[in-house]
Structure 1
Amino acid sequence: MSSDPSSTPGFWDQRYTAGKTPWDQRGVPGNLRNFLQRTPVSGRAFVPGCGSGYEIRVLHERGWPVLGLDFSPAAVARARQELGPLGQLVRVADFFAPAADLAGFSLAYERTFLCALPPELHAPYARRMAELVVPGGVLCGFFFHGPEEEPPPHPLSREQIDALLGGDFGLIEDLPVADSLPLYAGKERWQVWRRRQAPAPTSHV
């Protein structure tokens, strides 16, 4: 595990407890709503690093069986408060830890989770997503391109994201974001990556 403080639950617990959550949109982004309107339900959905959990509700309302995950107990408490009876769809757990029911997802949603991870956990994130999303399933969401002088968030260049995900996923949608929070304005893209049936071939020079 990383030695970066932001890789610990306590780092995020402090921020949720103090109400210092500039990444919290207090609603569901338009790109996700649009995507769900034109995407038929095809299996289970997964929201790692779910934070306040707004997207859990809209996924449930669209008919997706959904699981939200966060390793911060304070974040999960906030999500359960926000979601009411749907709070049962959220639990405290580590994205990287094996669990019997963490598999077989047709949709994984990315929102401020990857960029919250220290850079040394970016490659493990990609490998874990490839394990969790079924072939033909999608990883969709918002990818932060930076720059950022005082991370987190930890930005990735377009080339870094392509290298990170391109082996096991293929990019099928890449759109601007009209309703970004100030923290991310002009620095993020909505992207949809489809899980490949087999890894992309590696080129040899």
Structure 2
Amino acid sequence: MTPPANIDPKGIQAHLATYKGERYVEGWASLWEKGDDLPWDRGFPNPALEDTLVERVGTVGGPLAQREDGTSYRRKALVPGCGRGVDVLLLASFGYDAYGLEYSPGAVEACKKEEAANLSRYPVRDESVGRGKVTWIQGDFFDDAWLKAINVPRNGFDIVYDYTFFCALSPELRPKWALRHTELLAPSPAGNLICLEFPRHKDPLAPGPPYASPSEAYVEHLSHPGEKIVYNDKGVVKADPLREPSQVGLERVAHWQPARTHTVGQGENGVIHDRVSIWRRRD
């Protein structure tokens, strides 16, 4: 999908370059405040997520679960950097209690507008399960204040979905990104991080966002959360085959090429470059 004519990707990159370190999220927020017509917004969920929820339910688990006392509850799904919230609405249509997190108040308002105007695009998938609750949250992914505001503990999410969040962050934040996922994800096997890896086919030395996000980068960062990962002069991860995974790291339990994805994740003749990976805590 081509960016809207009134949006200059190079201008966005130059704008974000003025926000250094952890102020990077403020740069994204300021773009949302300027308007809600942004080039990373495809307007509908990636079909790879829908297919995952249908075809890999045995891996990620369904929307309903039982406590030890036999009572049932809805499992919680989080989408950090949810944009307009389309993935959140999709998860809720499957029956999960779905939470959309954005740093920008403008993005949260865009989510609420999307839900009010287009909920009919997300029909309930199973009437016996029903629709999950939708919660929009304004907060910093790396801070616990928003968790306290919604009364969810650390390690309280059964599903976390990361699509255009990893690739949108400045690479210097990737160790912190990986560590934060270990803090949010429920214990294994209940907690599953679903990563839709994009863009895998971009030149690693090309400027971002989106930054090149090959599968190897996800593996190294999520296997060694919080640790510095070395990239070579070509922008490629220098993986050490003898390096043991961190005990607090995540383990990849599934990895595949989806049958469907957004056109932006495809090359010539419709060749799909995107991959889906599922991760769990090692505990």
TM range, smaller chain: 0.7 to 0.9
Deviation (angstroms), 1:188: 4.9
Q: Is the 8 A contact 2:266 2:274 kept in 1?
A: no
Q: 1:118 to 1:193 in 2, by over 3 A?
A: same
- 1:65 equivalent to 2:97? Answer yes
Give structure 2 stretches of 5+ with no counterpart: 1-18, 66-74, 120-132, 224-248
Number of aligned positions between the proteins: 196
Q: TM-score scaled to structure 2, two decimals?
A: 0.62
Give structure 1 stretches of 5+ with no counterpart: 199-205
Q: Is the 8 A contact 1:107 1:133 kept in 2?
A: yes
Q: Is the 8 A contact 2:261 2:274 kept in 1?
A: no
Give the equivalent residue in structure 1 for 2:252. Answer: 170
Q: TM-score scaled to structure 1, two decimals?
A: 0.83
Q: 1:147 aligns with which of 203, 223, 227?
A: 203
Query: What is the alpha-carbon root mean square deviation over aligned residues?
Result: 2.6
Q: What letter corresponds to residue 28 of structure 2 in structure 1?
A: F
Q: What letter corresponds to residue 53 of structure 2 in structure 1?
A: L
Calculate percent identity across the aligned residue pairs: 27
Deviation (angstroms), 1:151: 0.7
Q: What letter corresponds to residue 173 of structure 2 in structure 1?
A: L
Distance in 1 (CA, whole Å) between partners of 2:217 and 2:93 is 34
Deviation (angstroms), 1:172: 0.8
Answer 1 or 2: higher relative contact order, Cα 8 Å, separation at least 6. 1
Give the equivalent residue in structure 2 for 1:81. Answer: 113
Larger radius of gyration: 2
Deviation per CA, 1:151-174, whole angstroms, max 9, x where unpaired?
111123322211111332224132
Deviation >4 Å, runs of 4+: 85-88
Aligned residue runs from structure 1 range 1-205, under 5 A: 3-4=20-21, 7-15=24-32, 17-38=34-55, 39=57, 40-41=62-63, 42=65, 43-84=75-116, 89-98=135-144, 99-100=147-148, 101=152, 103=154, 104-134=156-186, 135-136=188-189, 137-144=191-198, 145=200, 146-147=202-203, 149-166=206-223, 167-176=249-258, 178-182=260-264, 184-186=265-267, 188-198=273-283
